[in-house]
Amino acid sequence: MRLGIFGRGRLGGAIAMEIAKYTASPEALELRWTEGRDACARDRVEVAVEASHASAVLDHLAWALETGTDLVIATTGWKIPDLAERVGGRIGVLVSPNLSLGVALMRRLAALMGAYAAADPDAELGIIEHHHRMKLDSPSGTALSIAQAVQESCPRFSGWNIGAWEKDKVNIACLRTGFEVGRHELVLDAPLESLTISHRAKDRRVFAAGAMKAARWIWGRRGVYSMDDFAADVFKN
């Protein structure tokens, strides 16, 4: 399978390095090109990974639709409200702010914690996340996806906030300092007990490995998918 990468930063570079592990496997991948956020690739590939910048996602989506290229969007901080309508059944698009299967599992556990909180009106849920000093978006896309999983299973949570406590909001605390690749904690605090789920990415290779598996999975599919859809295949047994 031929692959292209939009993005030459930390994530794009890690993905390019990870591809070497797949060249001798039955899931052989061939990296045909890497491009920056402003460039547009010319060579035909089966799947492209968008790992550049939020401002480039719309242009790269348009390129994918024009060329019939399936797309994995790993970039965070962008919004395309009519994404499903744009894509239709023309190509496959997998959207995930975090390509770690461990984080996909954490979202499943977050849904269970949300269901627990739904049964106890005094239980509160909050998220703590820490990333390196160069990360631009805050909260992280991963933190927001965890908050979304909570809200879907506990309807009394109507959204999230940063700062002082607000009733029926998932409070998120963000730290941007140092060199942390990514740490997320979901905290349930009730009057009689507390529970914490934690995930820490030790190396960006975890996202790169996830991107490779996601690229294989989305190839040939049609429509817009999330990491939950991908993980459902992995965790179905």
Q: Are strands 2-6 and 47-50 parallel, antiparallel or unpaired?
A: parallel
Short-list 208, 186, 194, 176, CA closest to 142: 186
Do 145 and 220 share a domain, yes or no?
A: no
Q: Whole-prediction pTM value? A: 0.81
User: Containing domain of residue 125, as a range?
Assistant: 101-201
The total domain count for the chain is 2
Mean predicted confidence (pLDDT) in 141-170: 94
Question: What is the rounded average pLDDT for all residues in the chain?
Answer: 90
* Six token digits for residue 24: 């001798």
Do 153 and 133 share a domain, yes or no?
A: yes
Collapsing DSSP to helix, strand or coil, 91 comes out as: coil
Cβ atoms of 126 and 189 within 8 Å: the answer is yes
> Which of 53, 135, 169, 184 is an active site residue?
135
Cβ atoms of 6 and 51 within 8 Å: the answer is yes
**Per-residue pLDDT reduced to its tens digit, 78-117:** 999 999 999 999 999 999 878 888 999 999 999 999 999 9
**Per-residue pLDDT reduced to its tens digit, 118-129:** 999 999 999 999
Indicate whether 147 pLDDT > 90.
yes
Q: Residue 186 has what pLDDT?
A: 98
> Which of 53, 130, 131, 199 is an active site residue?
131
Catalytic residue list contains 131 = yes
Using CA atoms, how far residue 95 sits from 17, 51, 189, 196, 201, in Å, is 22, 11, 31, 26, 19
Do 116 and 151 share a domain, yes or no?
A: yes
Q: Residue 117 has what pLDDT?
A: 95
Q: Residue 182 has what pLDDT?
A: 93
Run of H or E residues at 225:
strand 223-226
If you ran DSSP here, which 8-state letter would residue 66 be given?
H
Catalytic residue list contains 202 = no
Collapsing DSSP to helix, strand or coil, 6 comes out as: strand
Do 209 and 197 share a domain, yes or no?
A: no
Do 88 and 107 share a domain, yes or no?
A: no
Do 225 and 197 share a domain, yes or no?
A: no
**Per-residue pLDDT reduced to its tens digit, 38-75:** 767 678 899 999 999 999 999 999 999 999 999 999 98
Q: Residue 159 has what pLDDT?
A: 93
**Per-residue pLDDT reduced to its tens digit, 173-231:** 999 999 999 999 999 999 999 999 999 999 888 888 888 889 999 999 999 999 889 88
Do 105 and 196 share a domain, yes or no?
A: yes
pLDDT confidence band for 136 (50 / 70 / 90): confident
Beta sheet of 92-95, edge-to-edge order: 30-35, 2-6, 47-50, 70-73, 92-95, 223-226
How far is Cα 163 from Cα 165, in angstroms, rounded to an integer? 7
- The count of other CB atoms within 10 Å of the CB of residue 177 is 9
How far is Cα 109 from Cα 91, in angstroms, rounded to an integer? 31
**Per-residue pLDDT reduced to its tens digit, 2-46:** 999 999 888 888 888 887 776 555 567 889 999 988 767 678 899
CATH at residue 195: 3.30.360.10
Q: Backbone phi, then psi, for 230, in 5-degree steps? A: -65, -45
Do 145 and 67 share a domain, yes or no?
A: no
Collapsing DSSP to helix, strand or coil, 202 comes out as: coil
Q: How many residues does the chain have?
A: 237
CATH at residue 77: 3.40.50.720
